[in-house]
Amino acid sequence: MANITLGGNAVTTSGELPQVGTKAKDFKLVAIDLSTKTLSDFLGSKLILNIFPSVNTGVCSASVRNFNQQASSLENSKVLCISRDLPFAQEQFCAAEGLENVVMLSDFKTGAFGKDYGLMMNNGIFDALLSRCVIVLDKEGTVIYTEQVPEIGQEPDYEAALKALK
């Protein structure tokens, strides 16, 4: 269980992020077209999993915009932006912002992704939402970098995540 904060208030998560060097667990997430996507759908590409509580908050939307900008120059890589927002909200956000270089995925149905990856918040005002994390996977789905952002209101270390892809 990770100990993080939200506005300075203590929050715990459902577990620990996957360890570097381990295979990432498979997942079932909902895309904006309401199809189900799994980890195997993306194998063969390096992946940045940009995980956050809600696309409708300032820091979360900033992380999606930042990774969208960076993604256009990434070779054989994809950025998966994952939250518990409804796919309709994710689609509206991307359309309004003109974002085309990221893949929006939702854990709204079961929360299994957040639980399996140890990043669902257990308490506080964002209880049951996903904490702000970045997980980078190689082409075979092995974890090569993780970051659990210690204060939900902080942006992730974009540079470190992108460096892990090289």
Distance of alpha carbon 114 from alpha carbon 130, whole angstroms: 6
62-76 tens-digit pLDDT = 776 777 677 667 788
pLDDT in tens, 97-121: 777 778 999 999 999 999 999 999 9
pLDDT at 72: 62
Mean pLDDT on 77-90: 93
38: its two tokens: 């799994």
What is the rounded CA–CA span in Å between residue 85 and residue 109? 10
Helix boundaries (H) for the chain: 58-71, 87-97, 112-116, 158-164
pLDDT in tens, 7-40: 999 999 999 999 999 999 999 999 999 999 999 9
pLDDT score recorded for residue 59:
60
The secondary structure element, H or E, covering residue 68 is helix 58-71
Tell me the C-alpha distance between 122 and 125, whole Å.
10
Phi, psi of 135 (to 5 degrees): -125, 130
| Average model confidence (pLDDT) across the chain | 90
pLDDT tens per residue, range 131-155? 999 999 999 999 999 999 999 888 8
Backbone angles phi, psi at 147, to 5 degrees: -145, 120
Coil/strand/helix, residue 5: strand
Q: Give pLDDT, residue 61.
A: 64
pLDDT: is 27 or 96 the higher one?
A: 27
- pTM for the structure as a whole: 0.93
Would you name the residues annotated as active-site residues? 60
